[in-house]
Structure 1
Amino acid sequence: MMAKAERGLAPAYPIRTERLLLRPIAPRDAPAMHVYKSDPDAVRYVPYAPLSLAEVEERIETTWSRTRFDEPGGGICLAVEDRETGALLGDVVLFWHSERDRAGEVGYIFDPAFAGRGYATEAVGALLELGFDGLGLHRIAARIDDRNTSSARVVERLGFRREARLVESEWFKDEWTTMLVYALLEDEWRGRTGAASA
């Protein structure tokens, strides 16, 4: 599934789940990605304002183009595609924060047109496998705006525990924002996936 470098990881793409393909984001994804990344409601809780098509294209060529983990501090963004239709549903990110602490973080954004079908949960589940089995992480976190209840439900379904509620801890998009910190440990994940496959 993945090729480990001396210090890093090069996943084998596409990563397949029951209904999805996770793959590198390509220039052809820009128009479909622009649909949700230009929607103020869809990007309300992510760290950028609505993006123009040109801005989406520029990010695809730069920060969203990484396909491997070379060193801590980096991450990879992947397109989430419906295996049956080929439609772009959204995108996900896995950050590798620390080699010593074996720490990572997940993030995700999906086109609201595909909400409520479990795609985010399925895609983030694949990121957990990539992080725990591929990178050998010990702990994967998710930082979620307190108002983003649908995003919190995604990680809760995957077994993440809420560790903190940081009241008005960040000045985000011109207002104080309360952040929730969720996390899942490798042995907790293995216990859930082992029980599910038994």
Structure 2
Amino acid sequence: MSGSPFSLPPAPESLQVVRERVRLRPFEESDLEAMATYRGDADVCRFLPFEPQSPDDIRRRNGHLMGGTSLEGARGGVMLVIENDGTVIGDLVLFHLDIEAGSAEIGWVVSPAASGRGLATEAVRALIDTAFEVYGLRRLVAQIDADNARSVALAERLGLRREAHFVENEWFKGRWSDLLVYAVLDREWMSGDASGA
């Protein structure tokens, strides 16, 4: 069997994505305190694969994703912070890169203080644009706890396709949890077949 026809373009030397109300940029050490404000909130972490985090926890867990713009590496991925009016309100990850398939997973964490204004939708839309246009990926996947109504609504608002519903597939934070898998292809996103494009 021959190799995949997919290949990544070179990583950008710097990255800054500006939209109407949000700016995405690589993580900086000075972001840790702001990130710990929302990542340290038990309600925010309820459906996430970690407990509330301190700045040291964030650095330890995400160090391999922080500060760079290259998707390639030992664990493949980048972390971008979301700013609104100069304030860090969340972060996004593009990770679990599969180079042969041209695919990666996306994830997001947003401060409750920023909810209800469409900022998360704007930021995740910008991340998807960046994944396809800058990084040249062809497929993105988001894995979401079925009880995480806000993230499910965000994925559906953006037009991601629900590809799977795994019922009680994992013992997670004291309960059997269902997992939803959403995905979108670059051609769907660019053509507008995904309603969020």
Whether contact under 8 Å (1:107, 1:142) holds in the other structure is yes
Shift of 1:60: 6.2
Aligned-residue RMSD, C-alpha: 2.6
SS at match of 1:51: coil
SS at match of 2:79: strand
Runs of 4+, deviation exceeding 6 Å: 193-197
Q: Closer, same or farther in 2 for the Cα pair 1:170/1:109, shift >3 Å?
A: same
Give the Cα separation in 1 of the matches to 2:18 and 2:185.
23
Residues paired across the two proteins, number: 191
Match of 1:27 among 29, 32, 48: 29
Shift of 1:131: 1.4
Asked which structure has the greater RCO (Cα within 8 Å, sep 6+), the reply is: 2
Q: Which moved further from structure 2: 69-78 or 124-133?
A: 69-78
Give the Cα separation in 2 of the matches to 1:6 and 1:97.
11
What is aligned with 2:145? Answer: 145
Mapped pair 1:102 → 2:102: yes
Give the Cα separation in 2 of the matches to 1:81 and 1:111.
11
Give the Cα separation in 1 of the matches to 2:142 and 2:132.
15
What is aligned with 1:172? Answer: 172
Length-normalised TM-score, structure 2: 0.86
**Offset from partner CA, 1:30-64 (integer Å, 9 cap, x none):** 22111111110001111110112332354565543
Q: Closer, same or farther in 2 for the Cα pair 1:174/1:17, shift >3 Å?
A: same
Whether contact under 8 Å (1:103, 1:139) holds in the other structure is yes
Give the Cα separation in 1 of the matches to 2:56 and 2:74.
29
Match of 1:48 among 50, 54, 71: 50
Whether contact under 8 Å (1:162, 1:182) holds in the other structure is yes
Q: Closer, same or farther in 2 for the Cα pair 1:112/1:131, shift >3 Å?
A: same
Whether contact under 8 Å (2:143, 2:181) holds in the other structure is yes
- Percent identity over the alignment is 38
Amino acid at match of 2:149: T
Structure 1 runs not aligned, ≥5 long? none
Amino acid at match of 1:69: L
Whether contact under 8 Å (2:125, 2:158) holds in the other structure is yes
Length-normalised TM-score, structure 1: 0.85
What is aligned with 1:116? Answer: 116
